[in-house]
Amino acid sequence: MVERIVTIRNRAGMHARPAALLVKTASGFSSQIYIEKDSERVNGKSIMGVITLGATYNTPLKIIADGPDEAQAVDAIERLFANRFEEE
């Protein structure tokens, strides 16, 4: 299992477009992927789950991946956050 803390840096937060990009990226891996905000954990491959987190600018989130390609999955998702979901 690999866990990493990321912070939302795009001003609009986790709205539909970045959520869709996150889910698309996560779905490309066979590992189970979860996103945590505070004590709420959602499936990283579920757009509704990701959006319902209500994550806004500067919100820290924990990425959790468990499976054969867990390290690659977390790295790919972390890059989305680092690149501000290509919005800015």
What CATH number is associated with residue 79?
3.30.1340.10
Annotated catalytic residue within 9, 12, 13, 15:
15
Range of the domain at 23: 2-86
Number of structural domains, the chain? 1
Q: What is the pLDDT of residue 87?
A: 75
Active site residue 15: yes
pTM, rounded to two decimals: 0.93
Each residue's pLDDT expressed in tens, for the chain with a length of 88 residues: 999 999 999 999 999 999 999 999 999 999 999 999 999 999 999 999 999 999 999 999 999 999 999 999 999 999 999 999 987 6
Which DSSP string do the residues of 17-47 spell out, in sequence order? Answer: HHHHHHHHHHHTSSSEEEEEETTEEEETT-H
- Specify whether the CB–CB gap between 35 and 8 falls below 8 A: no
Measured CA distances, 19 to 2, 4, 45, 84, 86 (Å): 21, 18, 10, 12, 12
